[in-house]
Amino acid sequence: MPRKLMLTGIAVWTCLLAVWAAALAVVPPDQNQGEVYRIIYLHVPSAISAFAASLFLALAGAAALWTRNEKFLTWQRALAETGLLMTGLALLTGSIWGKPTWGTWWTWDARLTTTFLLAILLAGYLMLHSALPAGRQRLAVCSGLAIFIFADVPIIYKSVTWWRTLHQPPTIIRSGGSTMAPEMLTVLIAGIVAMVLMTLWLAWLRTGSIELNRELESQTGAALT
């Protein structure tokens, strides 16, 4: 592992572990939900990280179309993988949170459905990426899809405002200010920042192994992925 990557990784993991410790031990419980609400410190950061990964995926798509540089396609794949990981984590933690508070693991409201759709879109991107032979066509098609996927992100975000949902409306960014106690909000925002950095770090780490895979493939002639 390159030294720069390793040092960044240690820094990001330290931040994330510190936030998780604060979320479990320092912030107070919620008046209505009690201790169970603490999963918010994992759920909201994962969801925002999935949005961030999708944004950078679209940017890598635009950069690849602009420069025709394969490097950006490598980044796309890494970001689609980490984005899918974070979307899955958001769905999983949301479901675990939903059972004790809402009384159900899952319901097809607009927020849940559009988030599920993001997972399918990212999985579809990865299938397309692995199905196409390397070349100009793959670069163009994948980059186009990378940009298209991002369209789902504002829809997910606004779904709780536009439509009637079981999921509650936004807590942090809303007219009239946040509806969260300040000490909770500080830790939540720190958690979002740390998790987004972790997502980007994971994607960075992954670009290295994708490159390595490609080198091995070109040397041995075998398809490894």
Partner 1 sequence: MNHEDRNRNGKRKKSLKWWLGGAVIGAAIVALVSVQLGNNAVYFYTPDEAVAKAADLMGKTVRVGGMVTPGSVVWKASELELKFNMSDLKGHDISVQHRGAPPDMFKEGQGVVVEGTILGVSQPVAAGMPALPLQMNSRKLMVKHSEEYKKPGDHNQGVDKALLEKSIFKDQGGAP
**What residue ranges bind partner 1 (CB under 8 A)?**
28-33, 37, 40, 100-104, 107-110, 113-114, 117, 120-121, 123-125, 127-128, 130-133, 145, 151-152, 155, 162-166, 168-171, 174, 179-181, 183-184
Cα 6 to chain centroid, rounded: 21
Signed CA dihedral, 42, 25, 190, 79: sign only = negative
Task: Write down the residue that tokens 């500080």 correspond to.
Answer: 186
Instruction: Confirm if 5 and 208 have CB atoms less than 8 A apart.
Output: yes
Q: Are 44 and 109 in contact (CB under 8 A)?
A: no
- The least CB distance from residue 222 to partner 1, in Å, is 12
The residue among 40 and 64 lying less far from partner 1, judged by its C-beta, is: 40
State which residue, 81 or 152, has the beta carbon closest to partner 1.
Answer: 152
Nearer to partner 1, 6 or 127 (CB): 127
DSSP-assigned letters across all residues of 78-146: HHHHHHHHHHHHHHHHHHHHHHHHTS-S----HHHHHHHHHHHHHHHHHHHHHHSPSSHHHHHHHHHHH
Describe the crossing of helices 110-131 and 40-67 by its angle, rounded to 10 degrees: 40
**Minimum distance between the CB of residue 13 and partner 1, rounded to whole angstroms?**
27
Helix (H, G, I), strand (E, B) or coil at 30: strand
Nearer to partner 1 by Cβ, of 61 and 202: the residue is 61
Question: Is the CB of 1 or the CB of 25 nearer to partner 1?
Answer: 25
CB of 217 to partner 1, least distance (A): 15
28 vs 135 by CB, closer to partner 1? 28
Structure letter (DSSP) for residue 223: -
Closest to partner 1 by CB, 107 or 213: 107
Q: How far is the CB of 166 from partner 1 (least distance, A)?
A: 5
CB of 205 to partner 1, least distance (A): 25
Smallest distance from the beta carbon of 11 to partner 1, in angstroms?
29
The contacts of residue 209 (CB under 8 Å, 6+ apart) are none
Q: How far is the CB of 204 from partner 1 (least distance, A)?
A: 26
Q: Give the CA distances from residue 81 to residues 22, 119, 128, in Å, rounded to whole numbers and listed in that order.
A: 28, 10, 13
